[in-house]
Structure 1
Amino acid sequence: MECKNIIHRVVAIVILCMGFMMANVVSAQTTYKTVNNKTYVFDNNKKVIYNQAHKSKASQFFATEGFNINNPSIVSKTFKQILSADRRKELKKERLAVVFECNRNGKIESVKFLFTTTPFLTATEVEQLEKAFLNQSFTVTSNLGKDQDIKFAIPCFFSKIQ
């Protein structure tokens, strides 16, 4: 009888330890970095970086079709403007996608950076890129309703913006 109690305690302790280890692994995959009072989520599991303040927009409905973006080149131009030539050269083999959430008129309201590998941009670079993107608008042609927001991604290949 006493042996059973000891076995149950050992099993409970092992399960608790495993739970703590798993919690540490999950939390290590997401880090938070703050630049200029803006907190950015670096999710290494989902390979995405975004401004924590814009997270609530994810539940909003966005149109993902029925529109055209007529000036997608602002993405490569912005990366070229923000990142130095040496940094772009360092990232030459890298690629990412920038997810834009815009109002119907093309005004950029939030951005996310999606990676195929572990995120390679620094928090400072993300903050500068976000600031630059939020001050721009895309030229949008659509047949959407006047209150319909849009969401789309544009790929960025650093080998092409040298």
Structure 2
Amino acid sequence: MAHRMVQAPGEPPELFLEGGAGAALPMVAVDWSVLGGPFEEPGHEVDWSGAERRTTGPDVALEFGTEQIPTRVVVYSYAEVGESGVPDEESGTETMCSFEGDGADVCRYHGDGSESARVVIDPPSSAGYLVVHAAWPTEETGAGADVVSASWLVRPDM
């Protein structure tokens, strides 16, 4: 894969459900500081209202607002969240997505640099809340290789 295809975009991309239709999913955390961008950690309250999926089907298809392909995508699944919307990290599962998966993987991402990078997740039936985390490499002069990352909220059961 060409280095330019996986190099971090200049600013955090948005993430959309079902091929980019509708509003962007809520971003719950971001670290773009190595590129002079935002740094935000998850708060003490999490609002899942903008994370609802409004289509049916077994897979959750997501599209990044960039052609740059992440080098790592991880999905955290939770059956429930607390009153503040924050999931109990001890009760969740972590799934490392594969690149260009063969269809047998629970989570796979793909892209070729000519259109938006995509992620497809086969969520477990008990997962009412997903956090999708993606990271891209960057090379800043004198700083060596580093990464930028962001996380978004998805409700696949809606």
TM-score normalized with structure 2 length:
0.27
Structure with higher Rg: it is 1
The structure carrying a bigger strand percent of its residues is 2
